[in-house]
Amino acid sequence: MIIGICTIELHLPGNGSLKGKRSVLKSIIARVHREFNVSIAEVDQQDVWQSAVLGVVCVSNGNGYVHGLLTKVVEWIERNRPDVQVVDFSIEVL
């Protein structure tokens, strides 16, 4: 069993409240979960208006598949959410 973990650091420019942040993140989390069938949640910086850290996890039987899927998640966020900037991301395969 191969477990893939991706940590994505986001910047939400122009966001002025935690309510606005929750709205943006809720949309991203729902779409990524639906599109890629992965587990995803906000894992850090919950009280900061313009920053967020998302954790994405998937399980498979192949290293290449796991790494490719998590890379596609990051690319999807960059391509489909121009209102959010991906500051950094890391992928770990266990």
What is the predicted pLDDT for the residue at 67? 96
Under-70 pLDDT residues of the chain: none
pLDDT at 48: 87
pLDDT the model gives residue 3: 97
Q: Enumerate the domain spans of the chain.
A: 2-93
E-assigned strand segments in the chain: 2-11, 39-44, 51-60, 85-93
Instruction: Give the homologous superfamily in CATH for domain 2-93.
Output: TT1725-like (3.30.70.1120)
pTM for the predicted model, two decimal places: 0.92
